A and B are shown apart, each in its own frame.
Chain A
């Protein structure tokens, strides 16, 4: 058996106080792992003990992806405890919010791409007037309460440079301006990591992200990248009471006209229609019906009507 004796002084060194924590988050397919690998390689090159930890089982299916990078004299835990990240690098706005509580409250720095990737799950509410379930919190609300924060339209910058996919390299540029490593090593590692044909593009993206921070420092405060543009999916819903309203429509079935083709049964997104024993359409789950009208559109025999009751809401078509 190995016995390691330590005096109190030696133990001090290993308490993790000198360890820097960078949490990198985003959506599957954005290159979170790639960004964290670049950072980990740089840290190691600079003589640090490094751990980089990710869980990427579902990374390719559009789910949340995150990667912990920790470096210092001696790193124990591969993961960053909540409230202990020095830097939170978010490649998508809502992902930044999701992990915000991992950031050190008093001294943490947020770097976030302001682009919105609205998950399909945020677009499932079929009730009238429902708005998307994406977050409504904007960079301005968050940055002003942060010790240090940078919100930039990295995807927009990358698109201008030539390919939206290098937004991750733009963010690496931003990160490079905040971490104290020589700029050459960033450029070197990036050049080694990317496909050779894209080195120039990536270095350009890197420079753009880096100079964005320098510019913003000159101005004195981080300029906020036009959230209006990127927040376009946040267009306000037509004025409808946000509490579940009484149903303002009724599904009117005319069984005499129904010939039992079952098209409506198949297409109903909420599965609330059935064919009864007489092979006539029947509303089996009235509460589930959202009045989406797809059965009405598709019934070849006009046996279904979604009748709006105008007395319950004065909402009219908001179509542009």
Chain B
């Protein structure tokens, strides 16, 4: 059976005018649906787990309704949405939590300006760090930018809240943030869908006093922001977004987002005040609720943001004392916390099974073109500033060849700093993927040339944004809809920046790779190696002639195992105390890299 992507299933879910209105949808599909129903006309995003499928799904709706696009990074995407809102179209942008850091410069001022047509930012946090570089709580940005923030607890609310966000945006003249979590994004449940409300375009409003952020205008913008917070609070105190669910006990729990579902699961008899909006807070409602219960808890994932604000209102509330600040909640963790708080009794646990399962972290694919770059860098004993993408997996065994990885686009800047710091004997190399290069690698590369440092940059050009599931970018020659478009020519771009040494090399030619890397690191100044081979998974699955091991020749030296290719494993045969190797024919894509490193020429193509 084949895996069907979310976007595929959304294609059918996205068909308009169907009579069956109750469909299973992921949170991401529901958000896209909600935006479409709200009459969104422009959507822009840069991929990032778990938010990626939102824009992919939006792109499955008719292009006459909505123009969805991949942008080069989250800041650009946010600016695109802001521009569309200025122009009178309902617009949205979606991103993962760390994408907010990139976009923040834009929305920090946009909240001062307000909106013309509705403007919605979807942000997906990743409690538990399923696939991210940190666990930041985006709700701090709500406070920092004073942007109202809705937090759905399931797919139905994801749709409803997204729709509502557009209305609130226009009603209160502010961008509105919808904050989800990985769990919301990737949980499928039944959703009631509706037709599109084709909200007409607005006129462009020529109002420089409001729309042009020069100091004098910003000074009038700031008080507007404070007034708006008050107005929102008043609205929220009487809004349906806050829901009181009366229970039979004297315990009161304030909760929201996915945490709400865990509370309902483990403490069904409690009084629950479910918040729909986490900024600003419905202060009056919270006060009344607090008065009505004997003991008040706040159950929120990650930071004690609401907790601190409730405490600041002078209300006694218990939270992070029992509910962790770290990681993702689960019904069992919420239950344990209530046990600790003395609200629930500990459940008797049957003894655990004594079982062992080997660790199975994600690995680079069989034949991944990134492998050879890191093999070569090991050979050169380079100091490697890494970046974010599939290739970050080269940081672990057996490649173990990345020294640092901070945030997207950091590698080049980090390498510049290492070079400027001096005292480094190893060659300093920055490795960066093609999508990441476009996202945030160009300014630091300009910086490197401008400041004339001695570093080598390896562009790991696999012609796709692979880590997030294979999205197009500005150098693939295709857009989000898969249509042909202009393709950025990296070599020409680097030359224009002023890089004196640029060479492109076939990632599968290990000898040429090592030779080129050696030349590049010997060059005094900025050198760029373009390691060039398409990803083996996306956009098309690549399969060449399968390789096999002639076991009788294999001396179990394991040098092919150094590649970390998951198609190569140990066989049952031994040589001199070590396992010989074998190649899984189903997994091997025939890149031949293992044959190139084999010390006894034991790896050959499977005879036809």
Give the distance in Å from the alpha carbon of A297 to the alpha carbon of B575 in the complex: 14
**Stretch in contact with the other chain, from A131-139, A178-186, A220-228, A252-260:** A131-139
Tell me, yes or no, whether B33 is within 8 Å of chain A by CB: no
State A133–B436 Cα separation when bound (angstroms): 35
CB within 8 A of B1: which of A2, A166, A269, A320?
Answer: A166
Asked whether, in the complex, the Cβ of B600 is within 8 Å of the Cβ of A297, the reply is yes
Of the candidates A28, A94, A166, A293, the one whose C-beta lies within 8 Å of that of B362 is A28
- Inter-subunit contact B365/A57 (CB<8 Å): no
Which residues from chain A contact B400 at a C-beta distance below 8 Å? 271
A169 at the interface (CB under 8 A from B): yes
Of B112-120, B165-173, B185-193, B479-487, the stretch lying at the interface with chain A is B185-193
Once the chains are docked, how many angstroms separate the CA of A52 from the CA of B155?
A: 11
- For residue B190, which residues in chain A have a CB less than 8 angstroms away from its CB? 44, 49-50
Q: Which of B241-249, B312-320, B411-419, B523-531 contacts A (4 or more CB under 8 A)?
A: B241-249
Which of B218-226, B542-550, B561-569 sits within the interface?
A: B561-569
Q: Shortest beta-carbon distance, A185 to chain B, in Å?
A: 15
Give the shortest distance, in Å, between B573 (CB) and chain A (any CB). Answer: 5
Q: Is B108 an interface residue (CB 8 A)?
A: no
Whether B381 lies near A98 (C-beta < 8 A) is no
A residues 113-156 near B (Cβ < 8 Å) are 118-124, 126, 128-130, 132-137, 142
Interface 1/0 per residue, A207-243 and B, CB below 8 Å: 0000000000000000000000000110100101000
Chain A: CB-nearest residue to B600: A297
Q: Mark B319-354, 1 if CB is under 8 A from A, else 0.
A: 000000000001110010000000000000110110
Which of B238, B240, B360, B586 has its CB near the most chain A CB atoms (within 10 A)?
A: B360
CA distance A105 to B347 in the complex (A): 13
Query: In the complex, are the beta carbons of B390 and A123 less than 8 A apart?
Result: no
Pairwise interchain contact B573-A320, C-beta atoms closer than 8 A: yes
Q: Which of B248, B264, B352 makes the CB contact (< 8 A) with A101?
A: B352
**Known pairs A77-B262, A77-B265; A101 contacts B186 (CB<8 A):** no
Q: A310 an interface residue at 8 Å Cβ cutoff?
A: no
Q: Which of A57, A142, A319 contacts B574 (CB 8 A)?
A: A319
Contact assessment for B350 and A53 in the assembled complex, using a CB-CB cutoff below 8 Å: no
Determine if A98 and B357 form an interchain contact, defined as CB atoms under 8 angstroms apart: yes
Greatest chain B CB density within 10 A among A169, A240, A265 is at A265
Partner of A269, one of B285, B355, B398: B398
Judging by beta carbons under 8 Å apart, are A11 and B4 in contact? no
Cβ of B337 to closest chain A Cβ, rounded Å: 13
Contact assessment for A319 and B264 in the assembled complex, using a CB-CB cutoff below 8 Å: no
Question: In the complex the two chains form, is B469's CB within 8 Å of A60's CB?
Answer: yes
Interface residues of B in 209-255 (CB under 8 A from A): 237-240, 242-248
Whether B569 contacts A123 by the Cβ 8 Å rule is yes
Complex Cα distance, B348 from A105, in Å, reads 12
Measured CB to CB, the nearest residue on chain A to B334 is: A77
Please tell me if the beta carbons of B246 and A100 are within 8 angstroms of each other in the complex: no
Task: Give chain B residues whose Cβ lies under 8 Å from the Cβ of A75.
Answer: 189
Cβ distance A216 to chain B, nearest Cβ, rounded Å: 22
A317: interface (CB < 8 Å): yes
CA distance A210 to B335 in the complex (A): 37
Q: Number of B residues whose C-beta is below 8 Å from A?
A: 93
Q: How far is the CB of B277 from chain A (nearest CB, A)?
A: 12
The total of chain A residues at the interface (CB under 8 A) is 103
Cβ contacts under 8 Å, B572 to chain A: 232-233, 235, 320
- Which residues of the partner chain B approach A318 to less than 8 Å between Cβ atoms? 574-575, 577
Q: Is A14 an interface residue (CB 8 A)?
A: yes
Confirm or deny: B558 has a beta carbon within 8 angstroms of a beta carbon on chain A.
yes
A319 contacts B600, C-beta separation under 8 Å: no
Is A269 touching B130 in the complex (CB atoms < 8 A)?
A: no
Name A11's contact: one of B187, B268, B469, B570 (CB within 8 Å).
Answer: B268
Q: How far is the CA of A56 from the CA of B189 in the complex (A)?
A: 16
CB of B578 within 8 Å of the partner chain:
yes
Contact A194 B2 (CB under 8 A): yes
A74-104 toward B: CB 8 Å interface, digit per residue (1/0)?
A: 0111110111000000000011011011000
Q: A1-B239, A120-B363 are in contact. List 10 more A-B contacts (CB 8 A).
A: A4-B244, A4-B245, A6-B248, A27-B360, A61-B365, A76-B262, A79-B183, A100-B355, A132-B579, A317-B574
Closest 9 CB pairs of A and B: A57-B131, A61-B362, A98-B357, A63-B362, A128-B577, A105-B350, A266-B379, A318-B574, A235-B572
Q: List 22 A-B contacts (CB under 8 A).
A: A2-B242, A27-B360, A28-B362, A31-B1, A50-B24, A51-B189, A57-B50, A60-B537, A61-B365, A63-B361, A97-B356, A119-B566, A120-B566, A135-B357, A142-B355, A269-B562, A292-B558, A294-B558, A294-B599, A297-B599, A297-B600, A317-B574
The residues of A with any CB-CB pair to B shorter than 8 Å are 1-8, 11, 14-16, 27-29, 31, 33-35, 37, 40-41, 44, 49-58, 60-64, 75-79, 81-83, 94-95, 97-98, 100-101, 105-106, 118-124, 126, 128-130, 132-137, 142, 164-166, 168-169, 190, 193-195, 198, 202, 232-233, 235, 238, 240, 265-267, 269, 271, 292-294, 297-298, 315, 317-320
